Amino acid sequence: MSVHWNDNTPIYRQLREKVVAMILDGVLKEGDALPSVRQVAADFQLNPITVSKAYQELAVDNLVDKRRGIGMYVAEGAREQLLASERERFLREEWPILMERIRRLGLEPRLLLQGLETGGERA
Amino acid sequence: MNIPATDTSGHAVRARGLVKRYPNKLALDRADFDIPTGRIVGLIGPNGSGKTTALKAILGLMQFEGELDVLGFDPRTQRDELMEHVCFIADVAILPRWIRVREAIEFVAGVHPRFDRVRCERFLANTQLKPGMRVREMSKGMIVQLHLALVMAIDARLLVLDEPTLGLDILYRKQFYQRLLEDYFDENKTILVTTHQVEEIEHILTDVMFIRDGKIVLTSEMEQLPNRYTEVMLSADCVDAARALNPLDERSLPFGKVVMLFDGVERTRLEPFGEMRTPGLADLFVATMKGTYA
């Protein structure tokens, strides 16, 4: 498997984001086992300490449960929790920037909502 | 597998003031370094910088001056005990060309008390190697597969790899590190690897050491590199101000832009100059080794 990591974010955090995205997209469902540290290290050609660190962060955020001697599992309620925190983050960090740009370009809210609706129909 | 992020429990190798003199060259010039247990450490340097000499000292393959502790042994006087716990892959050339796979297994089983034949055969089952095949019938990649299977079946605490994937195509190279990570490495083992293919292994390494002219010129946990080093792309008008912060290196780009590399300068001080990024290991290598062959 070939993965591209960007240079500006620590890899353990990028790995954490990958798992988060997989939970949000439903690829990893609640109760699903995460692949072992060893497997991820081998497949992504990362040192196991990096992988452990990413898993550790997910555990600290209660997104995965550690079952001793067995492995890591996606926690109950992980997706809901992520959706809530991602929505909050969008409104706090991304939306103000978008709004600024919308204002600068003089876009009408009605026009934007139209696009959203058609986008919704398509999905 | 649970690996503590920083293992303070011990070191696999500790070197102090290593010196190796050849008639017309100082191959090791008071080199100091520590290799903690349970890490994957890259020893990286240009040709002739002393990498292989350092490995030879660790393996007890030559005499030298200075202090060296490898797994609690002195490689000069306790080589036999040490060799029970150390494995080494140097170059593909050291397996005799006439030997068959099954004979190689017999041989290692006969000489190494910590060799696990079943494990070795299991590794080989995943390759195209057959028991009756001779080394001279194998491609370079297959020879490395055999070598790796033999070595990974030995329960050694320190694995030393000297340019292990030199001359292999990318498929074999990837597979080599994949096998090591999947079937071999754990928190009780330590891997020391030298290579020129810096980009390929930089994410596998937990620690890095740069060696130049027989001296260790940089040693760091990989995780710490972004805290120490910053690359900034700045326009010509900030060059003087930026130079005052003593960049390690600078190079010019088209359109009057200059890239400078800083060691240990806080990012808040560099931010006003322009776009920042964390340099890769290859960038650091080039900057640190500038002028080596001049």
Determine whether the interchain pair A45/B178 forms a contact, defined as Cβ–Cβ distance below 8 Å: yes
Residues in chain B: 294
Q: How far is A23 from chain B (nearest CA, A)?
A: 23
Q: Which of B181, B226, B280 sits opposite A41 (nearest CB)?
A: B181
Residue B255, pLDDT score: 79
Residue B3, pLDDT score: 42
- Kindly state whether A10 is in contact with chain B, defined as any CB-CB distance less than 8 angstroms: yes
pLDDT band at B98 (very low <50, low <70, confident <90, very high): very high
User: What does the DSSP 8-state code read for residue B26?
Assistant: E
pLDDT band at B39 (very low <50, low <70, confident <90, very high): very high
Picking from B196, B218, B220, the residue whose alpha carbon sits closest to that of residue B207 is B220
Residue B290, pLDDT score: 84
Q: How far is B278 from chain A (nearest CA, A)?
A: 6
**B interface test, pick of A2, A43, A46, A49 with most B CB neighbours within 10 Å:** A49
Q: Are the CB atoms for B195 and B28 separated by under 8 Å? A: no
Q: Is residue B9 over pLDDT 60?
A: no
Residue B168, pLDDT score: 86
pLDDT in tens, A16-63: 999 999 999 999 999 999 999 999 999 999 999 999 999 999 999 999
Among chain A residues, CA nearest to B42: A47
Residue type at B147 in one-letter notation:
H
What is the separation of C-alpha A118 from the centre of its chain, rounded to a whole number of angstroms?
26
Residue B265, pLDDT score: 92
What is the separation of C-alpha B145 from the centre of its chain, rounded to a whole number of angstroms?
19
- For the record, the structure tokens of A57 come out as 């962060």
As a whole number of angstroms, the distance between CA B265 and CA B153 comes to: 46
- Sheet containing B229-235, strands listed edge to edge, beginning at the edge strand earlier in sequence: B249-252, B257-263, B229-235, B274-277
Q: How far is B167 from chain A (nearest CA, A)?
A: 19
What is the separation of C-alpha B205 from the centre of its chain, rounded to a whole number of angstroms?
8
Picking from B76, B290, B70, the residue whose alpha carbon sits closest to that of residue B158 is B70
Average pLDDT, chain B: 90
Residue B68, pLDDT score: 96
Picking from B194, B226, B223, the residue whose alpha carbon sits closest to that of residue B209 is B194
Collapsing DSSP to helix, strand or coil, B259 comes out as: strand
Q: Which of B5, B203, B277 sits opposite A53 (nearest CB)?
A: B5
Looking at A9-18, B1-10, B219-228, B233-242, which range is the least confident one? B1-10
Q: Is residue B4 over pLDDT 70?
A: no
Q: Are the CB atoms for B58 and B160 separated by under 8 Å? A: yes
Among chain B residues, CA nearest to A51: B3
pLDDT in tens, B118-163: 999 999 998 999 999 999 999 988 998 999 999 999 999 999 999 8
pLDDT in tens, B166-183: 888 888 889 899 999 998
Residue B110, pLDDT score: 94
Partners of residue A11 in chain B, C-beta under 8 Å: 203
pLDDT band at A115 (very low <50, low <70, confident <90, very high): low
Using CA atoms, how far residue B6 sits from A36, A38, B154, B234, in Å, is 20, 18, 26, 36
pLDDT in tens, A52-92: 999 999 999 999 998 877 889 999 999 999 999 989 999 99
pLDDT in tens, B60-73: 999 999 999 999 99
Task: For chain A, give the percent of residues with pLDDT over 90.
Answer: 72
**B interface test, pick of A40, A44, A45, A55 with most B CB neighbours within 10 Å:** A45
Determine whether the interchain pair B277/A8 forms a contact, defined as Cβ–Cβ distance below 8 Å: yes
Q: Is residue A114 over pLDDT 90?
A: no
Among chain A residues, CA nearest to B200: A45
- For the record, the structure tokens of B232 come out as 């900034």
CA pseudo-torsion sign A109, A110, A112, A113: positive
DSSP readout, A54-109? Answer: HHHHHHHTTSEEEETTTEEEEPTTHHHHHHHHHHHHIIIIIHHHHHHHHHHHT--H
- Kindly state whether A13 is in contact with chain B, defined as any CB-CB distance less than 8 angstroms: no
Picking from B82, B6, B44, the residue whose alpha carbon sits closest to that of residue B193 is B44
Q: Which of A37, A46, A53 sits opposite B203 (nearest CB)?
A: A46
Q: Are the CB atoms for B105 and B147 separated by under 8 Å? A: no
Report the predicted TM-score, pTM, of the whole model to 2 decimal places: 0.83
- Kindly state whether A42 is in contact with chain B, defined as any CB-CB distance less than 8 angstroms: yes
Please report which residue ranges of chain B form alpha helices under DSSP H. Answer: 51-58, 79-83, 101-111, 117-125, 140-152, 170-179, 198-201, 225-228, 239-243, 267-270, 281-288
Residue A91, pLDDT score: 95
Among chain A residues, CA nearest to B276: A8
Q: Are the CB atoms for B66 and B18 separated by under 8 Å? A: yes
Determine whether the interchain pair A46/B204 forms a contact, defined as Cβ–Cβ distance below 8 Å: yes
Q: Is residue B224 over pLDDT 50?
A: yes
Q: Once rounded to an integer, what is the mean pLDDT over residues B241-257? A: 88
